[in-house]
């Protein structure tokens, strides 16, 4: 596909890397010529320096032949204008990043009236993911499929857990709860397990189940899953606003610490039910006075990654809170992920995942689309949801008879409101939503699961 990306910030760069690696023809546009030069030197893409909202610049970039234009500059209004120009100049599909909370309640209107294919709000998407984790604090990550009917939960097996030193085929609790272990991380390796795989303490595993069965599973293996009652948030940015809004709706008490007085006053007006503290979130004495030791949830959401990591390490030392750490850069992600600081949220990863799933769905508009896509374990594996729209080589045949790729697992089927954890004799049918976990990246169609 021919794709134009306007804006070469963190999200634009990440998108260019991912989409270029999947074989798409990428053109990037940015007003900073040095940034464009650096990207074109690093990646096999074409770049153009200029104003992405300009008709002449888009024309020079080849908008008339483009299949998709993605606008991810730092200005919402510029992104929307880019999409308007692209629709008129090239009649291609358009995606805009819109982040300002002012537009939050108007997104559907903006999308429909401007004819946008997709509007993505990274901060809102990140906040919704954090809220899911605070609802289910045992999990490191929670991803959802089939409109929330299927969950993919990642967690670390504690010492003394009934799962320890057991082969999967011998774990009756999995069948009792309709739960499937679909990925295992051990010593920096990722494995798609089979029945002979033995679980150990400190392994990180991913399971697929319905929300109800997941709760039952954790109860049976003696792991607490209760929603937190209160959360302390450090930093009063966009994610914090969206997160606080969601948590208050869930009945969770919220306290936000923000050092900018004007922002505190704004948050007091927008979030009258939250407690807003004007102060430095890195001040240990202030945090202790505000009850960090008693907090059940703690979210480090400042604009400085290093500050967030240090805050999480400090919170871990004096509190048993469920910890969420926001990280914008991926430069040291392997080091950060090894620190055991709870759940690490990368907003740009979330944005990239949403756009990637849309791009893959565009590539195959007949048969089966990529409905949902998540990058797992530092992008070394993918979880995908396909909707089967017509008969094909994978339908109406027992899974045990299909010649599936190695390192690939059919994890769950959503059929007529029912969640099926499939076994060898189960078949895929037209109309099913199917969840796949694999270390093969780039699947675009359900038929790609075959050798």
What is the CATH superfamily name and number for domain 366-449?
Answer: Regulator of K+ conductance, C-terminal domain (3.30.70.1450)
Q: How far apart are CA 449 and CA 405, in angstroms?
A: 6
Joined tokens for residue 29: 């546009």
Q: pLDDT at position 366, please?
A: 44
What is the CATH superfamily name and number for domain 2-120?
Answer: NAD(P)-binding Rossmann-like Domain (3.40.50.720)
pLDDT band at 145 (very low <50, low <70, confident <90, very high): confident
Determine the 3-state secondary structure of 254 from DSSP. Answer: strand
Question: Any idea which architecture 127-220 has in CATH?
Answer: 2-Layer Sandwich (3.30)
The 10s digit of each residue's pLDDT in 388-411 is 988 999 999 999 999 999 999 999
Mark residue 291 as left, alpha or beta (left: phi above 0; alpha: psi -120 to 50; beta: remaining): left
Percent of the chain with pLDDT over 70: 98
- H or E, element range at 230: strand 230-234
List, by residue range, all CATH 3.40.50.720 domains of the chain. 2-120, 230-345
How large is the average pLDDT for residues 47-73? 95
Q: ∠ CA(425), CA(428), CA(430), 5° rounding?
A: 150
The 10s digit of each residue's pLDDT in 179-217 is 999 999 988 788 899 899 999 999 999 999 998 899 899
Q: pLDDT at position 147, please?
A: 79
Of 348 and 35, the one with more pLDDT: 35
List, by residue range, all CATH 3.30.70.1450 domains of the chain. 127-220, 366-449
Locus of tokens 């003696």: 222
Class of domain 230-345: alpha beta
How large is the average pLDDT for residues 298-325? 94
Determine the 3-state secondary structure of 165 from DSSP. Answer: coil
Taking alpha carbons only, the member of 118, 84, 123, 81 closest to residue 100 is 123
Taking alpha carbons only, the member of 102, 125, 344 closest to residue 243 is 125
Determine the 3-state secondary structure of 158 from DSSP. Answer: coil
- Label the pairing between strands 118-120 and 93-97: parallel
Q: How far apart are CA 244 and CA 242, in angstroms?
A: 6
Q: pLDDT at position 364, please?
A: 55
Q: How far apart are CA 346 and CA 333, in angstroms?
A: 10
How large is the average pLDDT for residues 157-175? 91
pLDDT, the chain, mean: 90
Q: How far apart are CA 433 and CA 126, in angstroms?
A: 24
Locus of tokens 């109309």: 431
Determine the 3-state secondary structure of 393 from DSSP. Answer: coil
Q: How far apart are CA 251 and CA 231, in angstroms?
A: 11
- Look at the alpha carbons of 306, 310, 316, 321 in this order and tell me if their dihedral is positive or negative: negative
How large is the average pLDDT for residues 6-11? 92
């Amino acid at each position: 596909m021919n794709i134009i990306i306007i804006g070469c910030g963190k999200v634009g760069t990440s998108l260019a890397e991912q989409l270029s690696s999947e074989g798409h023809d990428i053109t990037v546009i940015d007003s900073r010529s040095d940034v464009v030069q650096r990207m074109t030197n690093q990646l096999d893409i074409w770049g153009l320096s200029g104003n992405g909202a300009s008709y002449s610049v888009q024309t020079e970039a080849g908008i008339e032949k483009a299949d998709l234009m993605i606008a991810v500059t730092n200005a919402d209004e510029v992104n929307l204008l880019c999409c308007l120009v692209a629709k008129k100049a090239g009649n291609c599909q358009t995606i805009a990043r819109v982040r300002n909370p002012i537009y939050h309640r108007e997104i559907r209107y903006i999308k429909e009236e401007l004819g946008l294919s997709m509007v993505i709000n990274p901060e809102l998407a990140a906040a919704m993911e954090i809220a899911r984790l605070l609802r289910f604090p045992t999990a490191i990550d929670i991803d959802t499929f089939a409109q929330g009917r299927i969950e993919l939960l990642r967690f670390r097996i504690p010492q003394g857990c009934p799962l320890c030193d057991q082969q999967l085929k011998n774990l009756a609790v999995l069948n009792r709860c309709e739960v499937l272990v679909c990925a295992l991380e051990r010593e920096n390796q990722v494995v798609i397990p089979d029945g002979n795989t033995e679980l150990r303490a400190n392994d990180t595993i991913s399971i697929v189940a319905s929300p109800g069965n997941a709760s039952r599973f954790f109860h049976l293996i003696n792991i607490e899953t209760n929603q937190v009652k209160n959360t302390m948030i450090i930093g009063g940015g966009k994610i914090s606003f969206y997160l606080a809004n969601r948590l208050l709706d869930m009945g969770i008490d919220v306290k936000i610490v923000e050092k900018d007085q004007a922002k505190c006053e704004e948050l007091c007006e927008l979030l009258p039910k939250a407690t807003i503290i004007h102060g430095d979130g890195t001040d240990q004495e202030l945090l202790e006075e505000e009850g960090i030791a008693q907090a059940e949830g703690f979210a480090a959401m400042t604009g400085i990654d290093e500050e967030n990591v240090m805050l999480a390490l400090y919170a871990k030392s004096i509190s048993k809170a469920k910890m969420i750490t926001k990280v914008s850069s991926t430069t040291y992600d392997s080091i950060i992920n090894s620190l055991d600081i709870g759940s690490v949220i990368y907003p740009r990863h979330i944005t990239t995942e949403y756009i990637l799933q849309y791009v893959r769905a565009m590539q195959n508009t007949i048969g089966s689309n990529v409905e949902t896509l998540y990058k797992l374990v530092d992008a070394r594996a993918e979880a995908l949801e396909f909707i089967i729209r017509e008969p094909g080589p994978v339908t109406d045949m027992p899974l045990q008879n299909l010649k599936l790729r190695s390192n690939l697992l059919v994890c769950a089927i959503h059929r007529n409101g029912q969640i099926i954890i499939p076994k060898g004799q189960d078949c895929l049918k037209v109309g099913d939503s199917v969840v796949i976990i694999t270390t093969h990246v780039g699947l675009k169609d359900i038929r790609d699961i075959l050798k």
